[in-house]
A and B are shown apart, each in its own frame.
Chain A
Amino acid sequence: GQQVQQSPASLVLQEGENAELQCNFSTSLNSMQWFYQRPGGSLVSLFYNPSGTKHSGRLTSTTVIKERRSSLHISSSQTTDSGTYLCALEPGTGSNRLTFGKGTKFSLIP
């Protein structure tokens, strides 16, 4: 089955609201990375977060290994936050590849 599951698949909020994106994984974890992709654009790394909580501006990433989940919180969302957010898991054993979730498409209503 799929190793990395993201939810929701899409999210529409009004500008100023907070967003919570989830990533659940079924294998052991070495690291979790979060990426942002603008429509038609490339992927940009937001966080490398193997465990615990990290902050970057209005973004917060929290990874809880024993619960096999990682979340991305966007506070006071702005129209420039629109795009797709993807999480990628690097397994704890074996491969060094990153396995990606299918992403959350995030849209803002002005």
Chain B
Amino acid sequence: DAGVTQTPRHEVAEKGQTIILKCEPVSGHNDLFWYRQTKIQGLELLSYFRSKSLMEDGGAFKDRFKAEMLNSSFSTLKIQPTEPKDSAVYLCASRTGGAGNTLYFGEGSRLIVV
């Protein structure tokens, strides 16, 4: 079975651009998470979907970050407009629905905003 697939793996953007990151969860998984990882803050939750419905979002990220899940096998994370402080690794993860199940991560999308 394929794991979590994220594209692009690397992205360099100019300040003010719009960036769309993509994620395909493990087939059959109901829960999907977007995290941002930086050396200083560690992993921070951006969005959490269950069965395509947005369950939680990271309050601090609402204004320029928007995650969507239009079908059960594909999710996008849009950052608009990008700022240099958005430079980080963006990780997508999925799991079979419900607490206590193993979380599977993608390889991440490394974003650099200049």
Q: What total of chain B residues lie within 8 Å of the partner, measured CB to CB? A: 24
Which of the residues B43, B98, B102, B105 comes within 8 Å of A96, measured between beta carbons?
B98
Beyond A97-B45, A97-B48, whether A30 also contacts B99 by CB under 8 A is yes
- When distances are taken between beta carbons in the complex, the residues of chain A under 8 Å from B22 are none
Interface pair B103/A50, CB less than 8 Å apart:
no
Give B50's nearest chain A residue, CB to CB: A96
Interface pair B105/A90, CB less than 8 Å apart:
no
- When distances are taken between beta carbons in the complex, the residues of chain B under 8 Å from A90 are 99-100
Q: CA–CA, A96 to B107, complex, Å?
A: 22
Report whether over half of chain B's contact residues are helix, strand or loop; otherwise say mixed.
strand
- When distances are taken between beta carbons in the complex, the residues of chain A under 8 Å from B33 are 97-98
- When distances are taken between beta carbons in the complex, the residues of chain A under 8 Å from B65 are none
Q: CA–CA, A35 to B91, complex, Å?
A: 14
Q: Does A21 contact B (CB under 8 A)?
A: no
Interface pair A102/B56, CB less than 8 Å apart:
no
Q: Does B104 contact A (CB under 8 A)?
A: yes
Q: What total of chain A residues lie within 8 Å of the partner, measured CB to CB? A: 23
Report whether over half of chain A's contact residues are helix, strand or loop; otherwise say mixed.
strand
Interface pair A98/B107, CB less than 8 Å apart:
no
Which of the residues B35, B42, B91, B106 comes within 8 Å of A103, measured between beta carbons?
B42
- Give per-residue flags for B69-101: 1 if the beta carbon is below 8 A from chain A beta carbons, else 0: 000000000000000000000010100001111
- When distances are taken between beta carbons in the complex, the residues of chain B under 8 Å from A50 are 100
Interface pair B100/A48, CB less than 8 Å apart:
yes
Interface pair A42/B107, CB less than 8 Å apart:
yes
- Give per-residue flags for A35-46: 1 if the beta carbon is below 8 A from chain B beta carbons, else 0: 100000111110
Binding site for A on B (CB under 8 A): 31, 33, 35, 41-43, 45, 48, 50, 55-56, 91, 93, 98-108
